[in-house]
């Protein structure tokens, strides 16, 4: 990364920077009073900015480039202290205590929710800000038409102007983290610098972090440089910048998870997808789940759904009675991101780079997602939900009735039926309020989470919230057709994005906000990766959101989605035939187990209907979508589109 954004005096600071090394067992008492705090167990270190210069740094880091970068960033942001995080429990406790004092966190009821804390973000900072998110490649074309682009030099300069001096009076935490099992060849290392304790504690759950990561990084290992600063939490001074060519992320002015937990969307998807193309693998916005069948065989599938389409619910679903009685079990590997590589056996193997769930709270309850409810009762962070008087939490759609009063996500005294200043309903919890919970809390966490090889993927699911077009399920004819199905996915806009709710948008592979390079190149990468697989996953499209004339969902969804997945895994095992239709292979209705459900044959017919007129409109809408890519739409996508058109037009 060029250092052009640093002013002269910042270089002077770096030059007079004193670097001392503290061994991990260096006793606290040997450090200068008031400068370093320390723990016998870890490598906690600090330095002080005395108003003019960085006086001292004690940081037990053997990696030269990392040390140099921390110094540069500290010189820019001018924190009072720099603290290297070791990931220990003692560190967690100490940081929580500090944050309780300042009000950044509130301790929740430790009897009912041990290890849990509560946080609210600024009111204007409750979702990802896609319009402030940029891919900063030298050439605009490399970012493509679906990304906001900024020239790297402009981006560094703009953000540096916001970062400059923004950590005065604050501490800069250095978080070494691994996305994926520490040391796995499929994993990547990042280091996040942040002035937020909330971020440190979230990263502690969402990633594997601390000293063990530095050990793997060694003296010269590659890492993603992630700089985050809250600055003024001002939406006009907020930027989420990705520099794939520098393996660098800068995020400033936000405290919302999706913008600031830089291992998640920023590294694992935007930078991840860029690296994946370069290195020949896939970084996808996908859940990973294992389905253990009555014979005890576990089939792994990965699914891409746009935000808030129920990915977390699906990833840890509870089998409906009929399937549970048959002997089906579900194992959750991940609910949001999959990194996948072809292995020697010709299959595609996936790891979940994350170690936690950052899930949407409202609507989560013991019916919709009991495993999530059980996951968030301990060692979790609850953000922007309602704080009850007994220091537990509540959100709209919780099992418990709304409490008579509480503190809501805006920090206001709240009661049911409350109206805001415009006369609209005032929520207890923000619709995009979140829980951060360790995957290991999940009762159905897979035992493959730490397996460096990951799990072999037999099927991909693509889906979205489409009320009309897509039937319950169909299977692509082949890999190329499947890539086309993923590329033309669409869904409604959800609360996880900053913008209008309800609007339909095309969201290829659910990667529209997350693909770190030109989308048309991404499609080509998908297409060519298929050639490297002797045993490619089969590709399916599912839609749990078909509605009837009165707008009601026809399919019950949630755990009952396993009935569709059962058909999918049976297809993967060559155990069930299918009907060839213009859009793909579809189930013979009787092959979907609907025992115990109130689904009449007429409803099933509706769920599996392919309507010629609606699909003709769909084809036009796809064509409209392609226009923004001009001549760059890959030929294979246009060929698939033409072939689909021909098949639809030939329908009776
Ligand atoms: C998420 C999202 O938070 O997709 O997972 O927005
Ligand atoms: Mn997501």
Q: Identify the CA nearest to 556 among candidates 320, 362, 371, 363.
A: 320
**Tokens 């549970």 identify what position?**
324
Decide: 377 and 398 in contact? Cβ < 8 Å. Answer: no
Tokens standing for residue 379: 């060692």
* Average predicted confidence (pLDDT) for the chain: 90
Q: Identify the CA nearest to 562 among candidates 381, 343, 303.
A: 303
For the CA of 496, the closest atom of ligand 1 is 6
Q: Identify the CA nearest to 567 among candidates 543, 591, 595.
A: 591
Residue 428: which residues within 8 A CB-CB, separation 6 or more? 385, 386, 394, 395, 396, 402, 406, 408, 409, 414, 416
Ligand number, closest to the Cα atom of 258: 1
Rounded to 5 degrees, what are φ and ψ at 472?
-50, -45
Decide: 612 and 651 in contact? Cβ < 8 Å. Answer: yes
What is the C-alpha to C-alpha distance for residues 340 and 455, in angstroms, rounded to an integer? 9
Kindly tell me if the per-residue pLDDT of 304 is higher than 50. yes
Instruction: Give all domains of the chain, ordered by start, each with its CATH number.
Output: 3-279 (3.40.449.10), 283-355+449-649 (3.90.228.20), 357-439 (2.170.8.10)
Q: How many CA atoms lie within 13 A of 380 on its CB side?
A: 29
CA 499 to ligand 1 center in whole angstroms: 14
Tokens standing for residue 620: 């036009």
What is the C-alpha to C-alpha distance for residues 217 and 211, in angstroms, rounded to an integer? 10
Residue 11: the pLDDT is 46
Beta strands in 180-297 (DSSP E): 188-194, 208-209, 224-229, 239-243, 248-252, 282-284, 286-292
Q: How many CA atoms lie within 13 A of 211 on its CB side?
A: 15
What's the pLDDT tens digit per position in 170-213?
A: 999 999 999 999 999 999 999 999 999 999 999 999 999 999 99
CA 57 to ligand 2 center in whole angstroms: 37
CA 12 to ligand 1 center in whole angstroms: 41
Q: Identify the CA nearest to 441 among candidates 10, 115, 78.
A: 115
CA 309 to ligand 2 center in whole angstroms: 9
Alpha helices in 532-634 (DSSP H): 561-572, 601-607, 612-627
Lowest mean pLDDT among 103-107, 400-404, 491-495, 593-597: 491-495
What's the pLDDT tens digit per position in 636-647?
A: 999 999 999 999
Residue 77: the pLDDT is 97
Beta strands in 195-342 (DSSP E): 208-209, 224-229, 239-243, 248-252, 282-284, 286-292, 298-304, 329-334, 338-342
Decide: 88 and 204 in contact? Cβ < 8 Å. Answer: no
What is the C-alpha to C-alpha distance for residues 557 and 545, in angstroms, rounded to an integer? 8
Decide: 484 and 541 in contact? Cβ < 8 Å. Answer: no
Pairwise pLDDT comparison (280 vs 621), residue with the higher score: 280
Average pLDDT over residues 467-491: 95
Q: Indicate the SS3 state at residue 78.
A: coil
What's the pLDDT tens digit per position in 495-554?
A: 454 444 446 789 999 999 999 999 999 999 999 999 999 999 999 999 999 988 888 999
What's the pLDDT tens digit per position in 346-395?
A: 999 999 999 999 999 999 999 999 999 999 999 999 999 999 999 999 99
For the CA of 285, the closest atom of ligand 1 is 4
Kindly tell me if the per-residue pLDDT of 47 is higher than 70. no
What are the residues facing 82 on neighbouring strands? 172
Task: Tell me if residue 309 is catalytic.
Answer: yes
Residue 550: the pLDDT is 86
Kindly tell me if the per-residue pLDDT of 397 is higher than 90. yes
For the CA of 258, the closest atom of ligand 1 is 3
Question: What pTM value is reported for the model?
Answer: 0.92
What is the C-alpha to C-alpha distance for residues 465 and 556, in angstroms, rounded to an integer? 14
Ligand number, closest to the Cα atom of 494: 1
Ligand number, closest to the Cα atom of 513: 1
Angle (nearest 5°) at CA 294 between 537 and 349: 25
Q: Identify the CA nearest to 59 among candidates 174, 146, 140.
A: 174
Residue 467: the pLDDT is 80
- 509: burial class by Cβ within 10 Å (0-12, 13-18, 19+)? buried
Ligand number, closest to the Cα atom of 432: 1
For a pocket test of ligand 1, which of 206, 260, 265, 270 has the largest count of ligand atoms closer than 8 A to its C-beta?
A: 265
CA 258 to ligand 1 center in whole angstroms: 7
Rounded to 5 degrees, what are φ and ψ at 602?
-65, -40
Residue nearest to atom 4 of ligand 1 (CA): 307
What is the C-alpha to C-alpha distance for residues 77 and 198, in angstroms, rounded to an integer? 18
Residues framing ligand 1 (Cβ under 6 A): 128, 258, 307, 336, 358, 496
Beta strands in 157-297 (DSSP E): 171-179, 188-194, 208-209, 224-229, 239-243, 248-252, 282-284, 286-292
Residue 27: the pLDDT is 30
For the CA of 306, the closest atom of ligand 1 is 4
What is the C-alpha to C-alpha distance for residues 370 and 382, in angstroms, rounded to an integer? 17
CA 336 to ligand 2 center in whole angstroms: 5
What are the residues facing 357 on neighbouring strands? 437
Instruction: Label residue 49 by pLDDT band (50, 70, 90).
Output: very low
Kindly tell me if the per-residue pLDDT of 598 is higher than 90. yes
For a pocket test of ligand 1, which of 260, 263, 308 has the largest count of ligand atoms closer than 8 A to its C-beta?
A: 308
For the CA of 360, the closest atom of ligand 1 is 3
Instruction: Label residue 468 by pLDDT band (50, 70, 90).
Output: confident
Q: Identify the CA nearest to 121 among candidates 313, 307, 287, 257.
A: 257
Residue 10: the pLDDT is 53
Residue nearest to atom 1 of ligand 1 (CA): 307
Residue nearest to atom 2 of ligand 1 (CA): 307
Lowest mean pLDDT among 64-68, 297-301, 467-471, 498-502: 498-502
CA 44 to ligand 2 center in whole angstroms: 33
Kindly tell me if the per-residue pLDDT of 51 is higher than 70. no
**Catalytic residue, candidates 116, 309, 442, 572:** 309
Lowest mean pLDDT among 121-125, 431-435, 441-445, 496-500: 496-500
Q: Identify the CA nearest to 546 among candidates 471, 600, 614, 604.
A: 471
């Amino acid at each position: 990364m060029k250092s052009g954004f640093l002013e002269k005096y910042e270089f002077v600071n770096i030059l007079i920077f004193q670097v001392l090394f503290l061994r991990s067992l260096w006793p606290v008492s040997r450090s200068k009073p008031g400068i370093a705090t320390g723990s016998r167990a870890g490598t906690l270190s600090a330095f002080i900015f005395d108003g003019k210069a960085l006086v001292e740094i004690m940081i037990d880091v053997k990696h030269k480039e990392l040390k140099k970068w921390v110094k540069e960033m500290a010189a820019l942001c001018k924190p009072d202290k720099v603290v290297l995080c070791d990931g220990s429990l003692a560190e967690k406790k100490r940081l929580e205590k500090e944050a309780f004092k300042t009000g950044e966190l509130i301790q929740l009821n430790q009897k009912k929710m041990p290890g849990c804390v509560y946080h609210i973000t600024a009111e204007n900072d409750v979702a990802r800000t896609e319009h402030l998110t940029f891919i900063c490649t030298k050439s605009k074309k490399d970012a493509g038409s679906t990304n906001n682009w900024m020239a790297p030099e402009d981006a560094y300069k703009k953000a540096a102007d916001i970062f400059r001096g923004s950590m005065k009076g604050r501490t800069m935490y250095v978080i070494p983290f691994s996305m994926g099992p520490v040391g796995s060849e499929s994993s990547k290392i990042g280091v996040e610098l942040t002035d937020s304790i909330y971020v440190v504690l979230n990263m502690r759950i969402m990633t594997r972090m601390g000293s063990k990561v530095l050990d793997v990084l060694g003296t010269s290992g590659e890492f993603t440089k992630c700089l985050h600063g809250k600055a003024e939490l001002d939406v006009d001074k907020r930027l989420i910048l990705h520099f794939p060519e520098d393996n660098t992320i800068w995020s400033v002015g936000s405290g919302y998870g999706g913008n600031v937990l830089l291992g998640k969307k920023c590294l694992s998807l935007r930078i991840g997808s860029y690296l994946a193309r370069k290195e020949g693998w896939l970084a996808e916005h996908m859940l990973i789940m294992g389905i253990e069948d009555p014979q005890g065989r576990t089939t792994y599938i990965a699914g891409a759904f746009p935000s808030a389409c129920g990915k977390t619910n699906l990833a840890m679903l509870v089998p409906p009675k009929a399937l549970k009685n048959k002997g089906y079990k579900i194992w959750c590997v991940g609910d949001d991101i999959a990194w996948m590589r072809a292995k020697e056996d010709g299959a595609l193997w996936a790891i979940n780079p994350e170690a936690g769930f950052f899930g949407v709270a409202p609507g989560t309850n013991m019916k919709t997602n009991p495993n999530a409810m059980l996951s968030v009762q301990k060692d979790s962070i609850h953000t922007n939900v309602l704080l009850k008087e007994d220091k537990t939490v509540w959100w709209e759609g919780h099992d418990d009735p709304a409490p008579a009063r509480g503190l809501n996500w805006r920090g206001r005294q709240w009661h049911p039926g409350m109206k805001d200043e415009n006369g609209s309903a005032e929520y207890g919890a923000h619709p995009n309020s979140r829980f951060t919970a360790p995957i290991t809390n999940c009762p159905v966490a897979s035992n493959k989470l730490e397996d460096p090889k990951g799990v072999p993927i037999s099927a991909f699911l693509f889906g979205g919230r489409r009320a009309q077009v897509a039937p319950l399920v169909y299977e692509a004819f082949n890999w190329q057709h499947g890539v086309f199905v993923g590329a033309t996915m669409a869904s409604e806009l959800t609360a996880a994005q900053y913008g209008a709710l309800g609007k339909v948008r095309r969201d290829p592979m659910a990667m529209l906000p997350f693909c770190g390079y030109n989308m048309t190149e991404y499609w080509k990468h998908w297409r060519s990766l298929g050639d490297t697989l002797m045993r490619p996953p089969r590709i399916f499209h599912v839609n749990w959101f078909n509605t009837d004339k009165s707008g009601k969902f026809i399919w019950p969804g949630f755990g009952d989605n396993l009935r569709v997945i059962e058909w999918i895994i049976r297809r993967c095992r060559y155990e069930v035939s299918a009907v060839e239709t213009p859009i793909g292979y579809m189930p013979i209705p009787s092959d979907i187990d609907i025992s115990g459900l109130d689904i009449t044959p007429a409803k099933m017919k509706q769920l599996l209907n392919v309507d010629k007129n609606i699909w003709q409109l769909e084809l036009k809408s796809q064509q409209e979508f392609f226009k923004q890519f001009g001549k760059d739409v890959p030929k294979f996508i246009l060929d698939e589109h033409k072939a689909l058109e021909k098949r639809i037009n030939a329908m009776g």
